[in-house]
């Protein structure tokens, strides 16, 4: 549970957790200060109700472009647009109060140039109210990260297995099996951190690399399919809740089977409608009393 509270100050005399205290979102400096401390808890959220449920349990809500696959049924994240990310990002910000919200930059919205990245990131920040954007890529994106950060946009990096590059990578297999690939991942993480990213997501890599990157890089490294030694973890909420069954990567752990609960509820509802036992007397206005 992670709720960040600050005093309202001004005349109330309220202490940090006293009467009149207001809930405050975790800030970028507070997030960065957690390097090597208590692990940072991150989950994706794409919608208002999911953000409401997860906020207060996590440090960071990530509006990932994985929503293209999880919510929209696309085969990859590539068809996701900037407008889609903005709509979902704004809903998650409305549904949360204490978690930091980071919104993914979708494929094609930032790779062309630092200027294009700035225009996209500025729209995301203005139209959603999120605290930061995330973009995929290593050394080739360092200049862009630095351009954004110097202009007031906090950036989270994402290296290792980068789903927007699925076509060049040739699939979603774990990265860094060979020495050369492992060295490349390390160089990517260092480049993005040195360019000013406040944190780096490290996805789908051999555990040894995850540990080495976490030890070497000065900002929090958030693992997904990486290692418990990372500074934090992120997973797709629908994956841990059993709501996405297209495929289940090895690194996903199921904490609930809500997909089954939904099917059972729908089946009961269908049965009751067909039997005319729903709606019952409690579900209609001015119910007619049945005699005998
Ligand atoms: O798109 C996404 O959801 C992500 C996180 C899971 C890292 O990038």
* Known catalytic membership, residue 203: yes
Domain ranges of the chain: 39-235
Atom of ligand 1 nearest to the CA of 65: 1
The pLDDT score that the predictor gives to residue 21 is 64
First to last CA, the chain: 54
Give the tens place of pLDDT for each residue, 208-257.
999 999 999 999 999 999 999 999 999 999 999 999 877 788 899 999 99
Summarize pLDDT for 149-199 with one digit per residue, the tens: 999 999 999 999 999 999 999 888 888 889 999 999 999 999 999 999 999
Query: Ligand 1 centre and the CA of 65: distance in Å?
Result: 6
User: Where does 39-235 sit in CATH, by number?
Assistant: 3.20.20.60
Ligand 1: residue whose CA is nearest its atom 5: 64
Q: Whose CA is nearest to atom 1 of ligand 1?
A: 64
The residue that leads in pLDDT, 69 or 11, is 69
**Which residues, 6+ apart, have CB-to-CB distance to 270 below 8 Å?**
none
Atom of ligand 1 nearest to the CA of 70: 3
Query: How far is it, in rounded angstroms, from Cα 267 to Cα 258?
Result: 14
Residue 135, φ and ψ in degrees, nearest 5: -135, 155
Q: How far apart are CA 145 and CA 149, in angstroms?
A: 6
Report the predicted TM-score, pTM, of the whole model to 2 decimal places. Answer: 0.92
Nearest CA to ligand 1 atom 4: 64
What lies within 8 Å, CB to CB, of 265 at 6+ separation is none
Residues touching ligand 1 (Cβ under 6 Å) are: 44, 62, 64-66, 104, 158, 201, 203, 224, 234, 236
- Residue 188 CA to chain centroid, in angstroms? 21
Closest CA to 250 of 172, 164, 185: 172
Most distant CA atoms of the chain, gap in Å: 82
Ligand 1 centroid to Cα of residue 216, in Å, is 23
Q: Are strands 155-160 and 132-134 parallel, antiparallel or unpaired?
A: parallel
Q: How far is the CA of 151 from the centre of ligand 1 (A)?
A: 24
Q: Which atom of ligand 1 is nearest to 235's Cα?
A: 6
Query: What is the percent of the chain where pLDDT is above 90?
Result: 85
Q: In this structure, what DSSP letter does residue 288 have?
A: P
Residue 292 has pLDDT above 70, yes or no: no
Q: What band does 14 get if pLDDT is binned at 50, 70 and 90?
A: very low
> SS in 3 state form for 219-276?
CCEEEECCCCCCCEEEECHHHHHCCCCCCCCCCCCCCCCHHHHHHHHHHHHHHHHHCC
Question: Please, what is the average pLDDT of the chain?
Answer: 92
């Amino acid at each position: 549970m992670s709720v960040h509270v600050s005093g309202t100050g001004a005349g109330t005399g309220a202490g940090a957790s006293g009467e009149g205290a207001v809930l405050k979102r975790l800030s970028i400096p507070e997030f960065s200060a957690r390097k090597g401390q208590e692990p940072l808890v991150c989950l994706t959220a794409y919608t208002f109700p999911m953000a409401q449920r997860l906020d207060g349990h996590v440090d960071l809500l990530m509006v990932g472009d994985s929503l293209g696959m999880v919510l929209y049924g696309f085969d990859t994240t590539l068809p996701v647009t900037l407008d889609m990310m903005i709509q979902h990002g704004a809903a998650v910000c409305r549904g949360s109060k204490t978690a930091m919200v980071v919104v993914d930059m979708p494929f094609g919205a930032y790779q062309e140039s630092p200027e294009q990245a700035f225009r996209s990131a500025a729209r995301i920040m203005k139209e959603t109210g999120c605290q930061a954007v995330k973009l995929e890529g290593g050394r080739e994106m360092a200049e862009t990260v630095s351009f954004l950060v110097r202009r007031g946009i906090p950036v989270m990096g994402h290296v290792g297995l980068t789903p927007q590059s699925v076509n060049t990578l040739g699939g979603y297999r774990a990265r860094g099996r060979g020495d050369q690939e492992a060295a490349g991942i390390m160089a990517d993480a260092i480049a993005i951190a040195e360019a000013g990213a406040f944190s780096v997501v490290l996805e789908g890599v051999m555990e040894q690399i995850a540990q080495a990157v976490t030890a070497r890089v000065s900002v929090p490294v958030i693992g997904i399919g990486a290692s418990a030694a990372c500074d934090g973890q992120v997973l797709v909420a629908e994956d841990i809740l059993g709501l996405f069954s297209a495929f289940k990567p090895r690194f996903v752990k199921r904490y609930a089977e809500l997909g089954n609960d939904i099917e059972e509820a729908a089946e009961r509802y269908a049965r009751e409608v067909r039997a005319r036992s729903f709606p019952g007397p409690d579900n209609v206005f001015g119910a007619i009393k049945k005699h005998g």
